[in-house]
Structure formats: structure tokens, C-alpha cells
Chain A
């Protein structure tokens, strides 16, 4: 133990040095996995002193956790209703800002889904269809709405498997355990997934809009870096990344890919 003391001391110095830098934690909906990674990488180049870290998961889970004082400084939800609820309950240190409209797609790793439609899901050859859990994942809710609006729910429901969040559902499809899934366009456009299969954009007339919003949380009200990052989301650089991943941006509604 004694031998390690100088090392430990150095490590502690290093850690405390980092603590002086501006650190903040982002809780982001799983559909942002690739877009947010890229935005953060660019943000770090522009703001080398800031140290963002990001956690991806289901919007509903983060909503619960923030109500129980989870250490998240920014919360990006796939459903703007969650941050609105938090704002009303006094958990926000910023107004709720819409940042994107999400889209859902049919995606498969083994079939070219661009040649399919929702009706193809009722074919007997399709045995498992992955969606996010509609009870708490916004993308799952929209998937259910689209299936119901197409009159396919009764036929497709017995084939459904539920991911904990939209990335989990995409992973079921990517490993081939479900032949097809309804996932976020943003995930289908990432380099790994877009190399396989193909996707079919589900018409947004079949479901409620996936309006996405974020807040700076109450615990971060004095965290300058967290507010800096919030502002950065409106920058041309961040918007370019979001657009690349298929998000429709606020102020550009109506424009579809």
C-alpha cells in the first residue's frame, strides 16, 4: 500500500484538477446515440476545457431518475412531454427547448427493408418484429400507433419483441434475432447499420409527431458549461450533425428527407 501512495496522490491531484474543469453529464434518449457522440466530439474541439459525458437510455427511465435527483445536468428526451412534466414539477433550470422531430423506419439487417411496407410485417416469413417498449419508450409508442393506424396491430402484436429502449430494439434486429424492427431513422442512418439491409421511412401521418425536447436540469442551474452546451445545440455545427442523422430540425418543419 505504502508503495502506491505517491501514485495515488498523483491520481488524486489529476482528478481534482479535472474537477476544476467544467464537467457535466448528459442523459440522452437512445435514438441520439450516434448523433450526440458526434456533436459532443465537435463541442469538445471548440471547448477543450469542458468535459461532457453522456449516458444513453430510455426517455422514461431518465424522467424517473431525474425526479429522484439523478446526477444529470442535461436531459434530452425523445418525447417532449417528459421534460415538460419535469419543468412543471420544478426540476428544470431552463425552458424546454425542442431540438428535433424524430422519424421511425422499418429496418432489417438481412432483408432490404426499403422494398417493404408496414403491411409486409404480417407475412408469415416474418416471425419476430422488434420495437421499443411502448409503455415507456417514445419510439415504441409511435411504432404502436403506426401499426394500429395501418390496421396491422392484431396481426403483428403476437410477433413483437420489446427492447428496453430504441437502441436495444435495433440491437435485436442487428444480431438477426428479430428479422425486422421499427427503429429510429437516426439509428438506421448510422454507418454500421446503414451498411446492412436497408430502411423504409414510415409515413409520419400514421403516428403522432416524435417531438423531442431537452432541458438543463435544476442541479445544473449554476453549471456554465451545461448552459454552454445547451446553446451549442442551436449552432450550425450541431444542427448539421442532427440533419445528417435524419432529424427534422425546429424551424424546418415540413421538410422531409
Chain B
């Protein structure tokens, strides 16, 4: 289910091809009479096969008109065009017809296809669409640049966590196309809710490397969380990123709220929300609450699922028994698409279209990007305990989002080996420079611990519990800050070495 049929292995190296685009037939899945091939690894254990509508089930010819189960337009529009008539329509939201026999089903359509533009080698699929974005390659090459930057960032920070230089890190290896491709489809005024693995989207939106590093080190330049949050928990209103928090799916109903606010705000017509979440988060109650509220109340929102096969160790076979996350879109009446998450061009094209639908219809749109989490869940995880290392290696070789997209750009003569080499050098230099800088900076003032707990209106006082507790720590620091060795050492890490808290009269800076 997760993985498309592989028919060839591509080389690790950039292939410079003839300028004309090779094309091959679109892979649509196994023909119906051949059982699908199943791999014996947890992610590819066969899901229960969705049963399409019973082919023998037909609308009653006398009362039905053979219309498909779902039709475009809202019930109100249909009601206006068709008038009131005796129909199940009056008892529910969707087009239906009276039937004399039971027609059980457990899928709303036949198995949901996965949209792609490029195959694993980066060639356009035969008779596939040539998206509008291909008319200019500037955006595509910028997308590619960010896709190549993030592995360098991830690598440096991952290794630094291993050396104890930062406390935690999460990589996005394997999901670069899904994350950057979707970010590329959004516009600068849009709002973004991340789960926690979308730092590449943040970089695409112009979040500086220095700020990213500052957050991961929790140093004095971490303006987002002022050293309070774990690494990768960015907060960047300047690029529309709402604060990342660790709980899963909590961002989703919030995104629905933002979408509704955009819908009401005359000055923000044309803006859109994108909300990222994973296959695991979609099991939380908040997922259903969010889609339900957004579908009823409206507001432009793209629900972007990174279906990477795992929630920490839990494979999707333990996560859901239906047809992925996409099958849930129609349940809420949302326009829905499943896309090959390792095909940057398809993701970009799909999310552009999703954005158009969301903004024009002032409604939610669900996109499920099928990808694979090549990295460990986080630095606290060792995925070899629950999935074969070979499976991971196979993904990096057989279906590598970076290589696919690069091959396409090279085919089109929009990218060259020289540019590639220059970019890799530049990325490495930029990242190491930002890293070195961030590591040298001290931690914020100790008093930041007590600031911002309650939002305080101008002219109002900080609540007394905070003032008193801050003063209590100040008193203790004055008494023990020099004579108690662990504290003497520890407070040196902070700007002003805790002196700001020792000023007991201070009401926060």
C-alpha cells in the first residue's frame, strides 16, 4: 500500500541525459487479476484489502438515475438545482438514492490511487501531466536547493546531539520532497502549523539558518522560545509558523481555527493555512475534531499528511486498517488527494491545486503524501530495533526523493553537475558557520524562566506568584550562587550569570 511497485533501480549518481524527456507508462498498481506483491517487513505487511463497492450493487433503475455516490457541489447547490424531492438527501448530507437491497461497503471508492509526475528515475510518467510550474525553473531549482540543504543541517545537528552538544534532534531524511514540495506551493502570507519534522519548510519560507541553530542550542539568540523549548520546537510568527509543540495533533484543531479566522478577515482573503501531521497523529481525537470543524465551518486549510510509515516504532499496519489517511477525507466531505510524497514535483503540483481549491472554496483540502521515514524517529530512537536496516537502505537507493528530483532537473537542463558541486560546498560551509556561531553564544538570562508565563497587559503587573518565586530563586542564588559549586558552575552558562534574577525587585525584563 505504502510503496509503489518498483520496476527499476536508479543510480546514486546524477545522470546527465538527453534534453528530451524520456517517458514511461504511468504505474497504476497491479492489474486486478494479479495479487499485489507483499514484502515481509512491518511497513509492507499487507493491509486489509479495501473492498470496493460491491459491483453487483446498482442504483434501483426505477428510482435512481445512476449517478455516482458522490457528486460535486454542496447539498445546498444541489437542492437549488434539483428542487426538493423525496430523497435520502434530506436525511444526510450527500447525494443518495433509495435502494431495495442492502449494499454494504467499507471503502468509499476503489482503492485510492497515488498521484505522481516523476517515476523513481526522475522521468516524466507517460501521458502524465506537465505541470504549470515547469514553465519557470527558478522555483524548482530553489526547491531543490532547500531539499539539499536540509540533509546537511540534519546531519550536523544529529551528530552534535550524539556528541552531547545539543539535547535532542529530529531529522527529516526521506521526507524532503514531501516537506519542501508542499512548502513551495504556499505563499508568504500563508499560515503554517508543523508537527515537528518540518524544519525544511521553515527554511523554504526564509527562516534563517542562524535562527534555526539558535533554537536548537537554546541560546540567547533563540527569539522563538527563549531557550525554553527542546530543539526543533521552532516558533516563527515572522514566517507564519505557529509554535511547534510536542503533543501530537494538537495543532490540528488550532489550524481549523486559524482557517476560520482567515475566512472572516477581509484583509486576508487569498491567504491559506497548511497544517502538517503524520500517520500516527491522525489517530488522535484532535485529527477528527479538526477535520470535522473545518468541514462544517469552512476556512482555507490544507491538511497535509506525511504518511511516512511509522509512529516511532509503530508501523502503519498497527495504526489503521482502512485505506490510509486519504480515505478519511471524503468522510468529512473534503476534497482529497493521495500523492507520491517522494516526488517533489507531484507534491508541489498537488499542493498548489489544493491551495487553489482551499482558497477559492474557503474550505479544507486533504493531501496524503506517501513517503518513508528513512531516519530514526529522533535522537532518542534506534529504529534498527523494530525494522530491518536493509529496508531503510533500500529506500534510500531505490526511491530517493533528492535523486529523483535532481534527475528531472538535469534532464531539463535546469541543473548541472557544476552547480551541484558548488551547492554542496556552499551548504556545508553555511551550516558549519551557523553551527559554530550558535554554539559559542551563551544561554538567555536566567530570568527568562519566569517571563511570559501569563500574558500581561500593558501597565498591568505580573501575577504575584511569579514575582515571589522569582525573588525566592534570587534569594537562593545570592546565598548559594558562589559557595555551592554546582550552582556556581551552572549559572555561568547564562547571560548575566543569574544576576538578573538576584535583583529581587525586578519584575522581569
Q: Do A and B bind each other?
A: no
